[in-house]
Amino acid sequence: MKFLLKIFFVLTSLIGITSKTEQVNDGIYARSYVVMEQNSGNLLESKDCNLKRSVASVSKIMTAILAIESDNLFNAVTVGEEIKTIVGSSLYLAEGTNVNIIELVYGLLLRSGNDAAVTIAKNVGGSIEDFVSMMNNKAQEIGMKNTVFSNPSGLDMYDEGNVSTSYDLALLMRYCMNNGTFREINRTQTFKSSVKGTWSNKHKLIQNYEYAIGGKTGYTKKAKRTLITSARKDDLELIVVTLDCGSDFAFHKAKFERYFASHTYLTFLNKGTNYILNYEIVVDKEYGIIIENLKLKNVTKHYQINPKNNEVKMYLVFDDNSSIEVGRAKVITFKIN
């Protein structure tokens, strides 16, 4: 039996290969920023993306994902005396209030509640100090090599705060957006709380930009304005992170609009079951590539399927027969139809 098959699908739309990283700031100053593609994690554009800075409340997405991944998400907890030390953005919870942790996560992401952050930390980590250790361990797991967390909120009046980079924060957001519960909470525009009325999301793009699907705001005097946004149009999903950008909402929208107008995401394998020629192929994640629209008239998807090695190699092939390897998928199961 011949295990190596070459299968071609000719695209009718105008598509091309992603250009090298640009350094365009859309007329708005940003001290540090990145544009990252969600599926691959490829960095499309950046400026000083490894610059370490205090990052303020955008670090709360780490607090949120640890709560979501814990066994305590739907548990009721009692707000304790830890909130007495809180300053700045708050849900204004009263000590002794009983509330579910998932509701605190909504307050954390939508309203940036520092009281929600410390309450989550104490009840998920056992203590705030142990929770901070969890934050730093998770950062290492994700690959955030230039990040050190000092607290669950991002406050930096009494120390250096949470120090990270725009690139590391994009890695964190990418990780979080792979979690369905985080994604659902983070894109919420308004949430009716059982303890404190209705909370509206502070992130203006989530409220007003049709393609925005998640993000987090932040500000301290030391960090200046910090912002993370995820947006999706058709199959193309992007993450933009800015540190110290005064007109950050406009900056993010401009980046999204540029890439959505000029690039296309081409899927090779969907997560789950795929049918390629006579094979049913099951993979545990999506495989694809972001490509620039105007470079070539026709490109070809090329698959090399080898059931003996449980592998599918994927290529993008051009008119001149040159090619780019998109990836190698480890297949869970092969089945001949």
Buried (b) or exposed (e) across 12-51, using 16+ Cβ within 10 A?
Answer: eeebbbbeeeeeeeeebebbbbbbbbbbbeebbbbbbbee
Compute the mean pLDDT over every residue in the chain, rounded to the nearest whole number. Answer: 90
Mean pLDDT along residues 27-50: 94
Distance CA 193, CA 178 (A): 25
What's the whole-model pTM score? 0.89
pLDDT in tens, 145-167: 999 999 999 999 888 899 999 99
Residue 298 banded pLDDT, cuts 50, 70, 90: confident
Model confidence band, residue 85 (pLDDT cutoffs 50, 70, 90): confident
Cα–Cα distance measured from residue 59 to residue 113, given in angstroms and rounded to the nearest whole number: 12
- Catalytic residues, by residue number, are 57, 60, 112
Nearest to 336 by CA among 96, 10, 1, 83: 1
Residue ranges of alpha helices (H) inside the chain are 60-69, 101-111, 114-125, 128-142, 166-177, 180-186, 204-208, 248-262
Helix (H, G, I), strand (E, B) or coil at 113: coil
- For 62-83, b where at least 16 C-beta lie within 10 A, e where not — what string? bbbbbbbbeebbeeebebeebb
Helix (H) / strand (E) containing 43: strand 43-47
- Top mean-pLDDT range of 15-24, 217-226, 275-284, 320-329: 217-226
pLDDT(82) > 60: yes
Nearest to 296 by CA among 21, 20, 17: 17
The pLDDT-based confidence of 299 (bands split at 50, 70, 90) is: confident
- Which residue has better confidence, 85 or 150? 150
